[in-house]
Structure 1
Amino acid sequence: MQTTTLYAQDFHAWTQHQAELLRSGRLRELDIENLIEEIESLGKQQRQELCNRLGVLLGHLLKWRYQPEARSKSWAATIREQRREIHEILEDNPSLKPYLAEAVIRGYRKGLDLVNRETPLDPDQLPQSCPFTEAEIFEAPVDWQR
């Protein structure tokens, strides 16, 4: 079976076959076009993961700031968890650091959507660009009992 056909019919089998070809040095048999597409897609997935994590973090920071009466241990835990996950993404993928400012912008929009879904707050009444400093996003302590 041709590798391009395998790619369309059984992606997992295709990935295993491509790995086998690479390990054995049979480079001429590789499905180069689809390999390029998949490698580019992996990089995009890392950027998307960063934006998604920032969306959850920024949404919870907005809830924390604008609904102090509803603060909970769960919100504090989510903030800590997202910060840790973002740190790990950036540690594992340092080339994403120059993309961080754009990711915060995209993540903030996702955060406003989260606030809209999870709270009675009107996202149109909240700042339309991220009001948090880098330190507030990534470092400020969160005490759920305050």
Structure 2
Amino acid sequence: MKSLYKTDFYAWTQQQIHLLKQQAWQSLDVQNLLEELADLGRRERQELRNRLSVLLGHLLKWQFQPQQRGNSWLATIREQREQLVLLLDENPSLKPYLSEALSIAYKLGLNLAVRETDLPYETFPSDCPYSLEATLDDAFLPDSWLESDA
């Protein structure tokens, strides 16, 4: 069974599903099942960080390169927000992790913004300038945020 796990992962998963349905507990590959279940949880957290980082990177680009704004950036911002809503609806237990994820994702989003704008790191705030609520708000774009803060 363990060699199947290493040589044909898909076949191993199908075998494990069959064994679970048959309630053949003694035949399950428990060690690898536990590892895979733990990985599933980590992947959901990673997905959350990835979506937030792309969103934050595009919000930074929107704010700091207004002359480059276009439908592509706007569509990416909207898509990431929609994907985040879906992810959180499907995994509500990720909500307490959002604040920590925002901080981590900002660093990744900052790298994206620097790479795609060619602006130096010093151009951007060192810490996320957007609240979690604003980041996830469909109506929020940094230019309107700046105007309302002024």
TM-score, with normalisation over the residues of structure 1? 0.92
Whether 2:12 is the aligned partner of 1:43: answer no
Aligned to 1:54: 52
Whether 2:81 is the aligned partner of 1:83: answer yes
Contact 1:76 1:142 in 2 (8 A): no
Aligned to 1:28: 26
1:1-146 equivalence runs, <5 A: 3-141=1-139
1:135 deviation in Å?
3.0
Letter in 2 for 1:46: E
Cα separation, 2, equivalents of 1:132 and 1:140: 13
Cα separation, 1, equivalents of 2:34 and 2:138: 40
Unaligned runs of 5+ in 2: 145-150
1:125 deviation in Å?
2.8
Contact 2:134 2:140 in 1 (8 A): no
Letter in 2 for 1:25: Q
Contact 1:59 1:111 in 2 (8 A): yes
Q: Answer with 65-74 or 29-38: which moved more.
A: 65-74
1:111 deviation in Å?
0.4
Cα separation, 2, equivalents of 1:32 and 1:134: 39
RMSD value, Cα: 1.4
Contact 2:56 2:105 in 1 (8 A): yes
Q: Secondary structure in 2 aligned to 1:132?
A: coil
Residues 105-141 of structure 1: CA deviation (Å, up to 9, x unaligned): 1111110111122112112331111100223201152
Q: Percent identity?
A: 49
Runs of 4+ in structure 1 displaced over 4 angstroms?
none
Unaligned runs of 5+ in 1: none
Cα separation, 1, equivalents of 2:21 and 2:104: 39
Change (3 A) 1:69 1:115: same
Letter in 2 for 1:94: P
